Structures are given as C-alpha cells and as structure tokens.
Amino acid sequence: LLSAGGLLFVAAMSGAVIDGDPFGSAPLAAAQPASDTYKSVYDGWKWWHVYCYRCHGVDAVGTTNAPNLTDPNRKLSSAAFLKIVMTGIPDKGMQAWDKLLDKKQVSEIHLYVRARADNVLPPRRPDEIGPNGKEWIPPAGWPGKN
C-alpha cells in the first residue's frame, strides 16, 4: 500500500483542485495573487510533512518506497492527482487519504509538489528560502494552467 507520501505524490502531480470541482481542469492558484499562492504552497508544504514525506521524501524527490514527484515527465493533472490521493492505489501500496484530507488540503499539497516539479521552489521550507532567508516569492504568472 502506498503511504501518505505516495498518495500525495500522485495527488501533487495531478494539479491543484478547485473547490467544489474535484476534477476541475484549472489549478486553484491560477487566479490568486502571489501572496495567496505563497500561502497555498506553504500550507501544502506543511501537509506534505504531516502525510507524504515518509514515502516520497522530504522534498518530494522520492524514496525506495514511492516515486519522485518532482520528475517533470510524471506530472499529473489536478483531477488525476486528486483521484489518486483521495482513492489511493492499493496495488502500489498507497492508501486512500479521503478520510484525513479534504480537497483544499490535497490542492495545496499538489501546488507544493508542482512548485517543486516546475523548479520554482527550491528544497526546504518555503518561509526560509526567499531573499535574505525570508518567504519564498512565487514567480510572476506561476502557476499557469496545467
């Protein structure tokens, strides 16, 4: 069974989830100001470290238990990520997270993973990797649509 990290990996690779539309095609943060995008990525990083890192690694780069979610060749749509995280992939060892995570949390995890996969967020805590050790600043226009 996939661990929380495995589930989050799959979720993260699928794209952000739009509230009320778990299979939406546009990422949640696409229309958000940079400060809201930062908060969503930071919250995703926090959820990642509660549920996902044990299997997918601290910076989403994978382990022997679960795949690297920062691989640009493995990006998932928002809908695919949500489905995988919420329902799991039992034959791969990833449990379903629908009892512990809601759509907003999964969307935030996906946005964090997407930032790592798009190479716009370096490893470590988003509140420590920006200019002069302060908050990370999302690049203008990021994220675009999947």
pLDDT tens digits, residue range 81-92? 999 999 999 999
Q: What is the CA radius of gyration of the chain?
A: 14
Residue length, the chain?
146
Orientation angle between helical segments 103-117 and 78-87, nearest 10 degrees: 120
Does residue 27 have a pLDDT over 60?
no
Question: 52 falls in which pLDDT band (50, 70, 90)?
Answer: very high
- Cβ atoms within 10 Å, residue 119: 9
18: β partners? 21
Question: 132 falls in which pLDDT band (50, 70, 90)?
Answer: confident
Tokens representing 74? 């493995």
The whole model's pTM is what?
Answer: 0.74
Q: How many helices (H) and strands (E) does the chain have?
A: 5, 0
Orientation angle between helical segments 4-12 and 78-87, nearest 10 degrees: 160
Q: What's the pLDDT at 127?
A: 87
Residues 4 and 97: beta-carbon distance below 8 Å: yes
Tokens representing 72? 């640009």
